[in-house]
């Protein structure tokens, strides 16, 4: 059985045909312009793939948001208020289901990434896992006994409040429009650019910025361990490409935990907090995982 | 069908016979002395009830801890290291299952309270809910799509870290042995007694202590809303008997949320944060809910 996985991003749609045993058997990338043009081009490519691979069983989309992620909603897949010109009100899930005649499932990009990691990546086989992406913003997702938290809505992992050093509070009010210095307002690439007037990748490993970024992310991981108590926390996103940041977060996390946890996995950050295992294809693989997740849960999805 | 619900506490075991339609049809209370004596007395009373009510189908226990709460463990129900003399290694679940011949399920007292609230109390019918108990300590539990978080372990809701005012930090380091000024170290009755040298019920509604207690609990509720995104948060425990505290927490919560949430319920604290609905019988009713929960999930529980 093959699945089409789509990473629907603000810059481009990446589309993969994934075979359960052979992995990725075809790939394409389509620029995100207007819904008509982009979805039309994706639909056309899927049509070609269907004639070449008649065992394609479903489509799964990992989508930028905000989206209606409720499979029970008549508007499942509809994009809400967005700065992305022309996309408000578009429904990539419905459009591709109708054009292809295939069942088509959709999730937020972060939820999809977590499902992908639990199917093929750093959370292989876990029923209880959390995922954070640290890039332009900070987002997250968690599975409890195989179910995504917050359905039919989602969590706001990046907006947890932090304890900060008084000198940091005095120096920087944070970049979050809603909360100032929540996790996203301190530890995202946007926050780093705003406070240090530099791109994160330009700042060396020993730059002072990483002290507070690491503290913020370790505090967020600790709140997740306290409230969701997953088996593992997986970190992805552009900022996590830096090895020294992962090492700092683990060290800060051990200090915040203070040797106290019910779940024993929490007590060793070196195995509890890990880097995402799927690379550039994570979004599209996550999309395919969404399709399989919905096929497993519902035994099929409506077009 | 009738269920026996047991609130296994450090001071006494409260035992109820609960009928699905008629409510509580019998009750008893046994002092917590030694496991042999207490469990023997409870077993004897259950024996009498069984002859009077032959349709008793199961026993459910809400237990003090630490306990092994894993139904798949050979030691399900075993009490771990505890200051309660003689109880370490005791297994109330196995003892009562064997003496009664009935299926017997067990959960932590906090998990059981949440299941009880969702069955008969302030979370009636919810699949996604969180519960906090604020008393000697601060504990919590959450359901995601009907599953308790952290299985087969549990969360540590009281140990989330807080943002505090510098003047508070200078005045009080917190009472938590592990973390100092985590939520439990600031907002529990133990913390209030330690900082203000008074019993919480002696302090008037306008005492300054409630400002930080409310801030701590509102921050914890916000972290729960961000990371678990339940449909409702239910507050119980001795400190929540004070009306003005609930009002303060709601007001502080609205301020922390800052109008930003995916789940719309979060945006109105007056309906999102509610008081527990079950009174003195909450523990035992929770125990009965645990039995029904396990009967529903597993179709029966092992003796």
User: How close A222 comes to chain B (CA, Å)?
Assistant: 7
Note whether B147 and B195 are same-domain residues. yes
Note whether A270 and A131 are same-domain residues. yes
Closest CA to A187 of A92, A252, A130, A125: A252
Number of CB pairs, chain A paired with chain B, less than 8 A apart? 129
Note whether B147 and B259 are same-domain residues. yes
Which residue does chain A place closest to B163, by CA atoms?
Answer: A163
Note whether A75 and A134 are same-domain residues. no
- Structurally, chain A folds into a number of domains equal to 2
Partners of residue A66 in chain B, C-beta under 8 Å: 262
Whether A206 and chain B come into contact, CB under 8 Å, resolves to: no
Query: Which residues are CB-neighbours of B66 under 8 A, at least 6 positions away?
Result: A262, B79, B80, B81, B82
Element (H or E) spanning A218, and its range? helix A209-227
Helix (H, G, I), strand (E, B) or coil at A73: coil
Query: Can you read off the two tokens belonging to residue A95?
Result: 């459009």
Whether A278 and chain B come into contact, CB under 8 Å, resolves to: no
Note whether B42 and B165 are same-domain residues. no
Spatial contact of B96 and B43, defined as CB atoms under 8 Å apart: yes
Note whether A208 and A130 are same-domain residues. yes
B117 in a domain, yes or no?
Answer: no
Partners of residue B140 in chain A, C-beta under 8 Å: 227
Note whether A167 and A251 are same-domain residues. yes
B303 in a domain, yes or no?
Answer: no
B120 in a domain, yes or no?
Answer: no
Whether B274 and chain A come into contact, CB under 8 Å, resolves to: no
B156/A128 CB distance under 8 A: no
What's the confidence (pLDDT) of residue A140? Answer: 97
Q: How far is CA B246 from the centre of its chain?
A: 18
Note whether A9 and A80 are same-domain residues. yes
Q: Which residue matches tokens 């968690």?
A: A142
B228/A149 CB distance under 8 A: yes
Q: How buried is B180 (Cβ within 10 angstroms: 0-12 exposed, 13-18 middle, 19+ buried)?
A: middle
Closest CA to A117 of A287, A267, A240, A265: A287
User: How close B247 comes to chain A (CA, Å)?
Assistant: 21
Label residues B81-101 b or e (16+ Cβ within 10 Å = b). ebeeeebeebbbbbbbbebbe
Task: For the beta carbon of residue B143, count every other beta carbon within 10 angstroms.
Answer: 26
Closest CA to A219 of A262, A271, A184: A184
Note whether A140 and A177 are same-domain residues. yes
Q: How many residues does chain B have?
A: 303
A61 in a domain, yes or no?
Answer: yes
Note whether B76 and B149 are same-domain residues. no
Partners of residue A144 in chain B, C-beta under 8 Å: 144-145, 147, 149
B144/A140 CB distance under 8 A: no
Are β-strands B129-134 and B138-144 bridged in parallel, bridged antiparallel, or unpaired? antiparallel
The whole domain housing B176 covers: 125-276
Whether A191 and chain B come into contact, CB under 8 Å, resolves to: no
B229/A144 CB distance under 8 A: no
Whether B147 and chain A come into contact, CB under 8 Å, resolves to: yes
Q: How many residues does chain A have?
A: 303
Q: pLDDT tens digits for chain A (303 residues)?
A: 899 999 999 999 999 999 988 889 999 999 999 999 999 999 999 999 999 999 999 999 999 989 999 999 999 999 999 888 999 999 999 999 999 999 999 999 999 999 999 999 999 999 999 999 999 999 999 999 999 999 999 999 999 999 999 999 999 999 999 999 999 999 999 999 999 999 999 999 999 999 999 999 999 999 999 999 999 999 999 999 999 999 999 999 999 999 999 999 999 999 999 999 998 888 999 999 999 988 776 655 444
B155/A259 CB distance under 8 A: no
Element (H or E) spanning A215, and its range? helix A209-227
A159/B262 CB distance under 8 A: no
Half-sphere exposure of A61 (CA within 13 A, CB side): 31
B83 in a domain, yes or no?
Answer: yes
Partners of residue B225 in chain A, C-beta under 8 Å: 156
CATH for A68: 3.30.420.40
B119 in a domain, yes or no?
Answer: no
Q: Which of residues 152-181 of B touch A (CB under 8 A)?
A: 153-157, 159-164, 166, 178-179
Note whether B212 and B256 are same-domain residues. yes
Whether A256 and chain B come into contact, CB under 8 Å, resolves to: yes
Q: pLDDT tens digits for chain B (303 residues)?
A: 899 999 999 999 999 999 988 889 999 999 999 999 999 999 999 999 999 999 999 999 999 989 999 999 999 999 999 888 999 999 999 999 999 999 999 999 999 999 999 999 999 999 999 999 999 999 999 999 999 999 999 999 999 999 999 999 999 999 999 999 999 999 999 999 999 999 999 999 999 999 999 999 999 999 999 999 999 999 999 999 999 999 999 999 999 999 999 999 999 999 999 999 998 888 999 999 999 988 776 655 444
Whether A260 and chain B come into contact, CB under 8 Å, resolves to: yes
Which residue does chain B place closest to A232, by CA atoms?
Answer: B150
What's the confidence (pLDDT) of residue B303? Answer: 44
Q: How far apart (Å, rounded) are the C-alpha atoms in residues B220 and A87?
A: 36
Whether B255 and chain A come into contact, CB under 8 Å, resolves to: no
Spatial contact of A103 and A58, defined as CB atoms under 8 Å apart: yes
Q: How far apart (Å, rounded) are the C-alpha atoms in residues A261 and A215?
A: 19
A147/B142 CB distance under 8 A: no
Which three-class secondary structure string do you get for A129-163? EEEEEECCCEEEEEEECCEECCCCCCCCHHHCCCC
Note whether A67 and A149 are same-domain residues. no
Interface predicted TM-score (ipTM) of this complex, two decimals: 0.94
Whether A41 and chain B come into contact, CB under 8 Å, resolves to: no
A119 in a domain, yes or no?
Answer: no
Residue A141 main-chain phi, psi, to 5 deg: -155, 155
Whether B151 and chain A come into contact, CB under 8 Å, resolves to: yes
A118 in a domain, yes or no?
Answer: no
Q: How far apart (Å, rounded) are the C-alpha atoms in residues A118 and A134?
A: 18
Q: How buried is A193 (Cβ within 10 angstroms: 0-12 exposed, 13-18 middle, 19+ buried)?
A: middle
Partners of residue B147 in chain A, C-beta under 8 Å: 144-145, 147
Which residue does chain B place closest to A225, by CA atoms?
Answer: B155
């Amino acid at each position: 059985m093959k699945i089409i996985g789509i990473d629907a991003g603000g810059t481009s749609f990446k589309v993969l045909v994934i075979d359960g045993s052979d992995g990725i058997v075809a790939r394409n990338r389509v620029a995100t312009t207007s819904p008509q043009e982009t979805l039309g081009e994706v639909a056309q490519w899927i049509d070609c793939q269907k004639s070449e691979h008649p065992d394609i069983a479903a489509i799964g989309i990992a989508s930028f948001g905000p989206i209606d992620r409720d499979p029970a909603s008549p508007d499942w897949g509809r994009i809400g208020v967005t700065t992305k010109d022309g996309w408000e009100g578009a429904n990539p899930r419905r459009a591709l289901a109708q054009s292809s005649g295939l069942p088509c499932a959709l999730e937020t990009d972060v939820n999809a990434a977590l499902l992908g990691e639990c199917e093929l990546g750093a959370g292989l086989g876990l029923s209880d896992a959390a995922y954070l992406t640290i890039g332009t913003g900070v987002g997250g997702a968690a599975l409890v006994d195989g179910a995504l938290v917050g359905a039919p809505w989602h969590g706001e992992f990046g907006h947890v409040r932090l304890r900060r050093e008084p000198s940091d509070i005095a120096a920087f009010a944070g970049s979050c429009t809603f909360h100032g210095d929540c996790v996203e307002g301190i530890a995202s690439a946007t926050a780093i650019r705003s406070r240090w007037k530099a791109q994160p990748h330009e700042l060396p490993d020993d730059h002072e910025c990483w002290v507070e970024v690491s503290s913020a992310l370790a505090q967020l991981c600790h709140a997740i361990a306290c409230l969701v108590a997953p088996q593992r926390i997986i970190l992805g996103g552009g900022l996590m490409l830096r090895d020294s940041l992962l090492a700092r977060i683990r060290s800060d996390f051990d200090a915040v935990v203070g040797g106290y946890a019910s779940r024993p996995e929490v007590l060793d950050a070196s195995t509890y907090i890990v880097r995402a295992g799927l690379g550039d294809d994570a979004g599209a693989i996550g999309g395919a995982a969404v399709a399989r997740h919905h096929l497993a849960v519902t035994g099929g999805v409506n077009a």
